[in-house]
């Protein structure tokens, strides 16, 4: 035996007994994980929605949850845990057991905006979460109370310049995706509006319907009923092109007021340490669910557009989106505790 071999054996790194012990220990650790991946799922899977019921993320999650069981082999339930602009439910999903039974319906607010705007978030979704499947993009519609003397973006800009700081708009709160979208509009159009923050888009919309404020911006799924009913007047949409459900409504890009579309992506995430076998099972099941013609039709019917990003590309997609909104946040000088 060489001196080098003797030194290695003395440290217990190459001796047969040591090798047997390490292999046995590895088997004890890997065995349950492999079994878990092989048997997964054997109970219901929970989609954590970090927003209140009735919003776009909730509606999308329920459509997916209803259609997923045949492909996943178990029931899928939706749990709403709102608060903190989506941060409370997101943190709960990050801290959940990494066993595949809790996933998050994350979006622009939870994965791009919050980590850039909240100083004391306590986690980084890029580290704490792993992408599972893209679900869909939702665009925003800017609309006004019907009695506001504005019928187009040009008229809105003219009114805002004539009355700087007087035209009011409501959002889901300071630092929300709706707030940042309006800040981007103000900056691009060279106007100054009066921001009225609410605890969600629903009360902001109610304030527009009651003529208490002039404008709000909301996602297509929740804006469509009010527009179709003639209760509000749509001004523009944040998609790159005109939307299939609102073909007469020009896009912000078409109107020349912003350079990039504003898409509220919705995607499913799992805790970062979830085993690869379980991630593959979840990813395959949810991607297959979203690709079903019936599911695509239901999502399109409410204004959810296809998000053609494979799981392997989701991290890069979200990182680029986060960087873009981080720049908007820094220019606006907004930080939240």
Residue 243 belongs to a domain with what CATH number? 3.40.190.10
Same domain, 111 and 162: no
pTM strictly above 0.85: no
> How many structural domains is the chain composed of?
2
- Give me the domain span that covers residue 67: 43-136+266-332
Q: Is residue 323 part of a domain?
A: yes
Question: How far is CA 56 from each of CA 83, 168, 169, rounded to the nearest angstrom?
Answer: 15, 24, 20
Q: How far is CA 79 from CA 47, 71, 233, 271, 290, in A?
A: 6, 20, 33, 16, 19
pLDDT of 37? 58
- 218 within some domain: yes
The confidence score (pLDDT) of residue 260 equals 83
Cis amide prior to 240 (ω within 30 degrees): no
The answer on 229 and 197 residing in a single domain is yes
CA–CA separation, 258 vs 184, rounded Å?
A: 7
283, 311 contact by CB (below 8 A):
yes
Which residues lie closer than 8 Å to 26 by C-beta, 6 or more apart? Answer: none
pLDDT of residue 29: 44
Q: pLDDT 10s per residue in the chain (337 long)?
A: 444 434 333 323 333 343 333 333 444 444 444 445 578 999 999 999 998 888 889 999 999 999 999 999 999 999 999 888 899 999 999 999 999 999 999 999 999 999 999 989 999 999 999 999 999 999 999 999 999 999 999 999 999 999 999 999 999 888 889 999 999 999 999 999 999 998 888 899 999 999 999 999 999 998 999 999 999 999 999 998 999 999 999 999 999 898 888 999 999 999 999 999 999 999 999 999 999 999 999 999 999 999 989 999 999 999 999 999 999 899 888 888 7
> Based on the domain organization, do 144 and 246 belong to the same domain?
yes
The reply to whether 52 falls in a domain is yes
């Amino acid at each position: 035996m060489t001196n080098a071999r003797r030194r290695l054996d003395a440290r217990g790194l190459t001796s047969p007994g040591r090798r047997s012990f390490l292999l046995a220990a590895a088997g004890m650790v890997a065995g349950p994980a492999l079994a878990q991946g092989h048997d997964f799922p054997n109970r219901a899977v929970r989609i954590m929605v970090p927003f209140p019921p009735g919003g776009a993320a909730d509606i999308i999650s329920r459509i997916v949850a209803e259609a997923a069981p045949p492909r996943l082999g178990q029931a899928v339930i939706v749990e709403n845990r709102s608060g903190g602009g989506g941060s409370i439910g997101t943190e709960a999903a990050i801290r959940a057991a990494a066993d595949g039974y809790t996933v998050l319906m994350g979006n622009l607010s939870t994965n791009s905006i919050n980590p850039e705007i909240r100083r004391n978030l306590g986690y980084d979704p890029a580290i704490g979460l792993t992408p599972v499947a893209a679900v869909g993009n939702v665009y925003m519609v800017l609309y006004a109370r019907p009695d506001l003397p504005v019928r187009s973006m040009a008229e809105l800009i003219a009114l805002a310049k004539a009355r700087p700081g007087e035209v009011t708009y409501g959002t889901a709160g300071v630092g929300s995706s709706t707030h940042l979208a309006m800040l981007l509009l103000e900056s691009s159009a060279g106007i100054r509006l009066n921001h009225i923050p609410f605890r969600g888009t629903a009360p902001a919309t109610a304030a527009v319907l009651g003529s208490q404020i002039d404008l709000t911006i909301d996602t297509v799924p929740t804006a469509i009923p009010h527009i179709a009913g003639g209760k509000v007047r749509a001004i523009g949409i944040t998609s790159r092109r005109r939307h299939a459900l609102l073909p007469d409504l020009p896009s912000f890009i078409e109107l020349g007021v912003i350079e990039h579309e504003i898409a509220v992506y919705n995607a499913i995430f799992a805790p970062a340490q979830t085993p690869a076998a379980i991630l593959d099972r979840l990813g395959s099941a949810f991607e297959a669910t979203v690709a079903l013609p019936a599911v695509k039709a239901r999502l399109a019917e409410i204004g959810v557009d296809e998000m053609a990003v494979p799981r392997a590309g989701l991290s890069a997609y979200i990182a680029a989106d986060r960087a873009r909104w981080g720049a908007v946040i820094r220019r606006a000088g907004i930080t939240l505790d």
